[in-house]
Chains A and B, each alone.
Chain A
Amino acid sequence: MTEPVLAIKNFSVVLIREGRAFRVLDEIGFSVAPGEIVALVGESGSGKSTIGLALQGLLPQDSRPRVTGSIRIAGTELVGAPGQVLRMARRRLIRAISQDPMGALNPTMTIRRQLRESTGADDQVIEEWLRRTGLRDPARIAGSLPHRLSGGQCQRVLIAMSMMARPKLLIADEPTTALDITTQAQFLYLLRNLARAQQTAVLFVTHDLNFAVSLADRMLVLYAGRIVEIGAVADVAGNPAHPYTAGLLAARFDFDSDRARPLPTLPERHGDADAGHGCAFAPRCTMARADCRAIRPPLRSAPVHPGAVACLHAEELPLHTKQRSVAEPWPVRAIAGAAVALQLSGVSKSFVSGRQLLWGRHRSAQVLRSIDLTIKLGECVALVGESGAGKTTILRMAAGLLLPDSGTVFRIDVVPPQLVYQDPVSALTPWLSIGEQVGERLRVFRIDPDMHRRLVGEALELVGLDRRVMHALPRELSVGQCQRAVIARAVVVPPKVLLCDEPLSALDVSLAATTLNLLGDIRRRLGMAMLFVTHDLAAARIVADRVAVLQSGELVEDGDPDTLIMAPKAAYTRSLIAAMPRLHGGNRRLAACRP
């Protein structure tokens, strides 16, 4: 056994937020061998990013972090080390790639200068490295400023910058969130190859189990700052020992998920109550007993795989999962004869780009080229495409927020269709109560206050919220509750057409599944037509009756989701499908889409 690159023992971090102390990491301990890729998986707030920040010494100083325990990197102790040691470690041993590649590069310096400053390498080495990351024409890239590069190119530059320093450890915190699906897969492939070639250990922080499985060797599942399960990815993903992992895995959807019925989900989390002495997951656990709330489960060897698990009753999990009832399938409704709810015919749109001066011609970029799209009442169409394909433009035209340059948009009702937004928190006005915002669409009817309140309450209950939530402000609600409130506002007066703009991209695994179920339920109950814009083909397949694929402003394919995925006609659809990570396809899929 080689000496570990990273050894963390009894590591705890306490941060002060809003005047109260939060134990963000609670006695974490694990080690990483050279060249090993370890995925840190968990929901937002689980502390997975804090580990990366702590390793880089970047814990938010405003929250006065209190750090205890031990972190050893290649034999150097970092906790309590003097500044000089920390700086040396940060320069020589640890490098990091962030979520936002554009923000990580200095916009005023050429790529070459930034690489030289970071690593001290000469031009030839720099260009060689840029070539190794799969960038064509490295000389041009090296001479460019960051704004000339795409997000994928920036991320490649960053990985070159990190790897050139030959660090012992690379921290990659959700490095693919800003990238398109096809680029994501290529990037992960590159990351793994470079890590293997250089024997660099990688901590891969992600909320996406599919990515963790396709990239990493080992997986570490975090919940509320504690490790709940640790083991080889195949073991953990194939045979989870902790009810939380099992729940996450069940909630994760891909091309193999059953789309005829609601997805399995985890119970939602309410508040950030400190677990104290018990098991942190107990409040959400379906097999929790009295002892779970009293005894903190130690990390012990798992009964079903060679890894470790922190659950008192892990032995019972297989039995428990088997007993889990399968949800009733969605009712089947014929939509063939239904009325057309939304129709775009021959719609084109261009935007003016470039500098607008008093003289000179405006350059314009065509975003949409004669789009034809029809949605019938009760039908859900998913619009799939990468960023810049024009998905959002179509959505905004359907909402009446934009007018087409040519072509027509037909809507069945005169009221504008309702929108479900990407980020539920920013879609609610922070200083107005939920009830006031949900009830806004009732005001035109001038009904009496009691009736008004009753209708708002009913809308909230329809989306699974307590009617008392109407008195709360958005900041008193969790993200999941905000999402429900946004949907309640959309359906308080049932619209004929519901438009969804990437409603899953800001959500965790389990919350995404919950939202898909809720949307599926509501649209069937109210007989709405739904246009669901997403970059995620798997989500599209689950929610929609029909999938339309959009590539740079043109619809390239349109059809039944399963047929489209099984037998894609367009080359672009094929590349989208190949790039989707799958839970049980493992690493082979990643290898299949090498750049």
Chain B
Amino acid sequence: MSALKAYVSAVEFLRRAGWLESAAIAGVLIVTLIAVFARWLTPFAPDLRVAEPYLAPSVMHWFGTDEIGRDLFSRIVLGIQYTWLPGLAIVVFSFAIGGFIGLIAGAMGGRIDLAIERTVDLFVVLPATLIALAMVVALGPGLANAMIAIIVFWWPVYARICRGEIRRLSALPHVEAARISGVRGPRLLLRYLLPGAMPALLVTATLDIANVIMTLSAMSFLGLGQPAPAPELGAMTARALESLTVYWWLPILPAAVIFLVCLLANLAGDGLRAALRGA
């Protein structure tokens, strides 16, 4: 019975989201798996010289080799880990922090709401990327610092969306009915309000992963992300840029993977939005 129910809801989801978007959602999950198990998936040791430098893509080395002779395919597989997992972590943290603060603002109203809203405004009007860059320079380059700098400027978006959704839901008859029934406090927030705000937040989050990855890559590109030997995709593109005309695969292939991953995340976000719209 429950298996049948699960099957029906899966079919329902596919139909609402569309096949391309559903495939993208599956793709996002696969990318996450690749990122987690990257160490075991590389055909060659990604940090060692395994062949002649500057070999063009071939059957042996699918994506060719780099200036030291490291296998580019292995480095990109590992690069997915170095790019995707921090991106995901940034979105999850921003989601949690922003969602929580937005929930408080929306539910409390009054002065607390006003104070939070003005703080959010402050963050939104600042040129986020620029100041995040400045922050990393001040803290010193490195993955952890880059992530902190991005989260600091990323959560307000979630706070604002969550607050707006909570305000909207609070005015709906069914929430008012719950209030009249004596539901209040955490129960009202968690059972009646938060589930209603979830679709908007989830959709924003999936669409945001691409943005975060781009920002992270941009930082690495500028040399503010992970230090040199780390196979971060943005940094790999940056370092190999001068050899674009001679050894095209070195900058193009990592960039293409960034592009693909962002595209998948965006499509998945679209699919999720379509699927959750009716729910």
Residues of A bordering B, CB below 8 Å: 18-19, 399, 401, 415-416, 418-419, 421-423, 426-432, 437, 440-441, 443-444, 486, 489
Contact = CB atoms under 8 A, between A and B. Distances in A.
Interface stretch (B120-128, B179-187, B245-253): B179-187
A427 B182 contact: no
Contacts of A419: 176-177, 180
B82 interface: no
Nearest to B175: A429
Contacts of A422: 173
Nearest to B192: A429
Contact of B177 (A18, A430, A489): A489
Contacts of A428: 174, 177
Contact of B173 (A19, A421, A443): A421
B4 to A, nearest CB: 15
State the main secondary structure of chain A at its contact with B.
loop
A83 B176 CA distance: 48
A415 B182 contact: yes
20 contacts: A19-B11, A19-B15, A399-B180, A401-B176, A416-B182, A421-B173, A422-B173, A423-B173, A426-B172, A426-B174, A427-B174, A428-B177, A429-B175, A429-B192, A430-B279, A431-B195, A432-B191, A432-B192, A440-B182, A486-B177
A444 B196 CA distance: 24
Contacts, number: 54
B196 to A, nearest CB: 8
A427 B279 contact: no
A421 to B, nearest CB: 5
B29 interface: no
Interface centre among B15, B177, B192 (most CB of A within 10 A): B177
A437 B173 contact: no
B178 interface: yes
Given A19-B11, A440-B178, A443-B182, 7 more contacts: A18-B12, A399-B180, A415-B182, A418-B181, A421-B177, A426-B172, A437-B181
A437 B15 contact: no
Nearest to B193: A429
Interface residues of B, number: 19
3 smallest beta-carbon distances between A and B, as pairs: A440-B181, A429-B174, A427-B173
A19 B19 CA distance: 14
Contacts of B176: 401, 419
Given A431-B195, A432-B191, A432-B192, A489 B174 contact: no
Interface of B: 11-12, 15, 172-178, 180-183, 191-192, 195-196, 279
B177 A441 contact: no
Contacts of B279: 430-431
Contacts of A427: 173-174, 177
B66 to A, nearest CB: 50
A416 B174 contact: no
Contacts of B196: 429, 431
A426 B173 contact: yes
A67 B15 CA distance: 23
A358 to B, nearest CB: 14
A583 to B, nearest CB: 32
Nearest to B180: A416
Nearest to A440: B181
Contacts of B195: 431
B180 A418 contact: yes
A437 B188 CA distance: 12
Nearest to A421: B173
A517 B73 CA distance: 74
Contact of A441 (B15, B174, B182): B182
Nearest to A424: B173
B181 A441 contact: yes
A65 B191 CA distance: 39
A440 B173 CA distance: 15
B181 A489 contact: yes
B172 to A, nearest CB: 7
Contacts of B180: 399, 401, 416, 418-419
A18 B9 CA distance: 12
A196 B191 CA distance: 57
B229 to A, nearest CB: 48
Contacts of A429: 174-175, 178, 192, 196
Nearest to A436: B191
